Structure 1
Amino acid sequence: MTSESLRIRPFHQVDVFSAQPYRGNPLAVVVDAEGLSSEAMQHFAHWTNLSETTFLLPPTDPRADYRVRIFTGSEEFPFAGHPTLGSAHTWLQAGGEPKTDGVLVQECGAGLVRVKHDAGRLAFAAPPLTRFEPVDADVRSQLTAGLRLPEDSLLDASWLVNGPEWVGVLLESAEQVLAIEPDLVAMGDLKVGVIGPHEPGSDVDFEVRTFIPGDAMVEDPVTGSFNAGAAQWLIGSGRAPEEYVAAQGTALGRAGRIHVKAGGGDIWVGGASVTCIQGTVLL
C-alpha cells in the first residue's frame, strides 16, 4: 500500500459481549474498506494488536446487507463470533438499514450469517459445524497435559470446527474451569475451549475459558465462535438447557456474558456491544 492510496476512513472500536465498557472483548472495525487490498487489511489488523479487526464492504451476494472480512494479527478468518456481533453493531450505528426488518444478513468467508435483535442485544445464528467428532487418544492426552488435568476429569472432548478449529473440553464444574493453569507449551497448536457448569441458582449457568495458539498462547476474553460450537454440542447432547447464559473472561478480570437460545431450528448466540472509540483512521 503506497502513501498515495491512503485516505481517511470511519473507524470504531467496540467492546463485545459486555454492556460495561472495557469488560468484554474489543474489536476494531473499519467502516468503509472499499479499495483496500488483503495485504493492507492484514497489515492494519496486525498493527491494531487486537484479537480481531474487521473491514466492512458492500455485499457481493444480493441476499446480504453487508460483507465483512475478519482478520487476526496474522491471518484471515472465514467466521468469528465477537467480530460478527461487533461488526453488525457498528454497521447499524453507521446508518445501515437491513433489507428485512429486524434481521441482518452478513456475508463472510463462511457464507451468509443471520443476525437479529433479541432482548435488546444482537444475536447471530450459529453456523453449522464442519467438523464435529470426539478427539482421538493422542489429542486427549495432549489436552490433559496442556490443561494440567487428570484424564478422568475431562467429561468429554470434541472437535467443534465452525471456521476456527476449536477443540471443546467439558469439565464437571465452573470452579475446575477457573482453576486451570495451562501448560502452554504442551497445548501446542490446539485451539482449546473449556466449559463447566455453575451451581444451580448462580447468576450464570456456565463458565468458559478459551486458549488460542500464536506467537504466544493467549487466553481470549470472550469467544463467540467457540460458544456457538459449544452450544450446539451441549444442547444437542442434553447437557445444557435450550436457553442459558455463559460467563467468560472472569480469569482475566473481564465480565463477558454470552446469551444462548435455541429456537426455530437455530441456536442463537447473543451479547451486548458498546462503542468505546469512534473516529477516523488513515488507511
Structure 2
Amino acid sequence: MRTYAYETVDVFTEERFGGNQLAVFTDARGLSTSEMQSLAAEMNYSETTFVLPPDDPANTARVRIFTRVHEMPFAGHPNVGTAFVLARHGRDRDGVLRFEEIAGLVEVKVAMNAGGEVSGATIAAPQPLSTGIELPAGAIAACTGLTPADIVVTNHRPVRASVGVHFVLAEVTGEALSRATPDLSHFRAVRDAAPELEGRFSLFVYARDGAKIRARMFAPIGGTWEDPATGSASATVAALLLSLDGGDSAAFTLTQGVEMGRPSLLHLTARRGEDGIRATVGGSCVPVFRGEALL
C-alpha cells in the first residue's frame, strides 16, 4: 500500500472555515494522472493540487491542479494555498516560489505576519490579459436566474477572458448579485451553442464600486455550483478593468463567498507591460487538516 501526505488550507481568509478550501498533496511522485483525478474527486473541493519535482531545477516545483472532473492549466487559490503550504515547509527561496504549470511559469511571493510566520501569498498570473467572444446579456441572465436588465453592459458586454484560464466575466447590478442562482440547463445550452467556449463554461459575475468589487462564480457543468473565492477570475477582472479604465496600473479589493457563508478577501493589482496587461492576486491562508491518502 502506498501513502501520500496531504494538507488542507482555507485560502483568501484569516478565519478558519472561511475562504476557499484546498487540498495539497505535497509529494505526488508515483501518482498517475488518473489517480490524481480520482483523489481530487474524493477530496470534493473545487480544486486539489499535486506537487512534483520541477523540470527546471531553478524552479520550486511542478504543480498540477485538478477540479473534481478535469485538470486546470492554472488557477488562483490553488497557487496561493500551495505556496502557503510549501513555504511553511521551508521550500521558498528568499520568500519566492516558482511553479511550473500548463499555462506557464507562476511566480509566488510569500507574505509574513508580524511574528515572522507565513500568512499567505501573492501570485502573478502566467499570461497577459486576452479576450474572446462576447455572449448575449439575455443568455447570461438566464444562466443566473436574473433579468437582462440586471446585466450591466455600459462598460463591457459579457466576455470570455483569461490571464491563464478562461472565464466568462459579466458585470451585474449590486442588488442582482445576491439574487443570482445558477441554472444548469441554461449553462449547458450556452456551452453547446458557443463552440468557442471549448466545452467549458465558468461564469464570474461581479458588481463594482470604484476599487471595491463583490463577486460570485458559478461552474455547475464542472461540478462547482458556486465557488467561495476564485483567484484566477478575480485577476482577470482586474486586468479587464484596467484595460477599460485606462492608466498604467490599478489596485482593487474583491470580496466573494459571502452568500455561501465562506467570506473571502482578495487583493488584486493590474499593470500595463510590454506584452499586455498583467495581474496579481493575493491573500491570507489558514491551515486546517493534515492526513494521508492510502492507495
Counterpart CA distance in 1 for 2:294 and 2:224 is: 31
Task: For 1:192-211, list aligned pairs within 5 A.
Answer: 192-198=203-209, 205-211=212-218
Q: Which amino acid aligns with 1:160?
A: A
What secondary structure does 2:17 align onto?
A: coil
How far did residue 7 of structure 1 move? Answer: 2.1
Counterpart CA distance in 2 for 1:86 and 1:146 is: 30
Counterpart CA distance in 1 for 2:281 and 2:22 is: 17
Is 1:29 paired with 2:27?
Answer: no
Q: Which amino acid aligns with 1:69?
A: R
Task: For 1:142-221, list aligned pairs within 5 A.
Answer: 142-152=139-149, 153-155=151-153, 156=156, 157-173=158-174, 175-188=175-188, 189=191, 190-198=201-209, 205-214=212-221, 218-221=225-228
**For the structure 1 residues 7 and 227, does the alpha-carbon distance in structure 2 shift closer, same or farther, using more than 3 Å as the test?**
same
How far did residue 154 of structure 1 move? Answer: 2.6
Counterpart CA distance in 2 for 1:48 and 1:217 is: 13
How far did residue 257 of structure 1 move? Answer: 0.5
What secondary structure does 1:19 align onto?
A: coil
Question: Which has the higher mean CA deviation after the structures are superposed, 240-249 or 50-59?
Answer: 240-249
Q: Which residue of 2 aligns with 1:236?
A: 243
**For the structure 1 residues 136 and 208, does the alpha-carbon distance in structure 2 shift closer, same or farther, using more than 3 Å as the test?**
closer
Is 1:249 paired with 2:257?
Answer: yes
How far did residue 194 of structure 1 move? Answer: 0.4
Q: Which residue of 2 aligns with 1:260?
A: 268
Counterpart CA distance in 2 for 1:255 and 1:278 is: 23
Is 1:112 paired with 2:105?
Answer: yes
1:42-75 superposed Cα distances (whole Å, 9 cap, x missing partner)? 1111111111111111100233111111111111
1:172-205 superposed Cα distances (whole Å, 9 cap, x missing partner)? 43x321222333321224311001024x7xxx81
**For the structure 1 residues 36 and 260, does the alpha-carbon distance in structure 2 shift closer, same or farther, using more than 3 Å as the test?**
same
Counterpart CA distance in 1 for 2:42 and 2:286 is: 22
Question: Which has the higher mean CA deviation after the structures are superposed, 268-277 or 159-168?
Answer: 159-168
**For the structure 1 residues 38 and 171, does the alpha-carbon distance in structure 2 shift closer, same or farther, using more than 3 Å as the test?**
same
Counterpart CA distance in 2 for 1:271 and 1:108 is: 20
**For the structure 1 residues 269 and 215, does the alpha-carbon distance in structure 2 shift closer, same or farther, using more than 3 Å as the test?**
closer
Is 1:102 paired with 2:82?
Answer: no
1:145-187 superposed Cα distances (whole Å, 9 cap, x missing partner)? 21233334332311113444310001243x3212223333212
Q: Which amino acid aligns with 1:115?
A: V
Kept in 2: contact 1:77–1:163 (CA 8 A): no
1:90-144 superposed Cα distances (whole Å, 9 cap, x missing partner)? 111223132xx2321111111101111357531111232574035044xx43212
Q: Which amino acid aligns with 1:166?
A: F
Residue-pair matches, total:
269
How far did residue 263 of structure 1 move? Answer: 5.3
Q: Which residue of 2 aligns with 1:271?
A: 283
What secondary structure does 2:18 align onto?
A: coil
Question: What do you get for the CA RMSD once the two structures are aligned?
Answer: 2.4
What secondary structure does 1:237 align onto?
A: helix
Counterpart CA distance in 2 for 1:216 and 1:97 is: 33
Kept in 1: contact 2:184–2:221 (CA 8 A): no
Q: Which amino acid aligns with 1:180?
A: A
What secondary structure does 2:27 align onto?
A: coil
Which consecutive unaligned segments of at least 5 residues does structure 1 have?
1-5
Q: Once the two structures are aligned, what percentage of the paired residues are identical?
A: 35
**For the structure 1 residues 245 and 130, does the alpha-carbon distance in structure 2 shift closer, same or farther, using more than 3 Å as the test?**
closer
What secondary structure does 1:87 align onto?
A: helix
Task: For 1:116-155, list aligned pairs within 5 A.
Answer: 116-118=109-111, 120=113, 121-129=120-128, 131-137=130-136, 140-152=137-149, 153-155=151-153
What secondary structure does 2:255 align onto?
A: strand
**For the structure 1 residues 205 and 28, does the alpha-carbon distance in structure 2 shift closer, same or farther, using more than 3 Å as the test?**
same
**For the structure 1 residues 37 and 217, does the alpha-carbon distance in structure 2 shift closer, same or farther, using more than 3 Å as the test?**
closer
Q: Which residue of 2 aligns with 1:3?
A: none
Q: Which residue of 2 aligns with 1:68?
A: 63
Counterpart CA distance in 2 for 1:252 and 1:85 is: 21
What secondary structure does 2:10 align onto?
A: strand
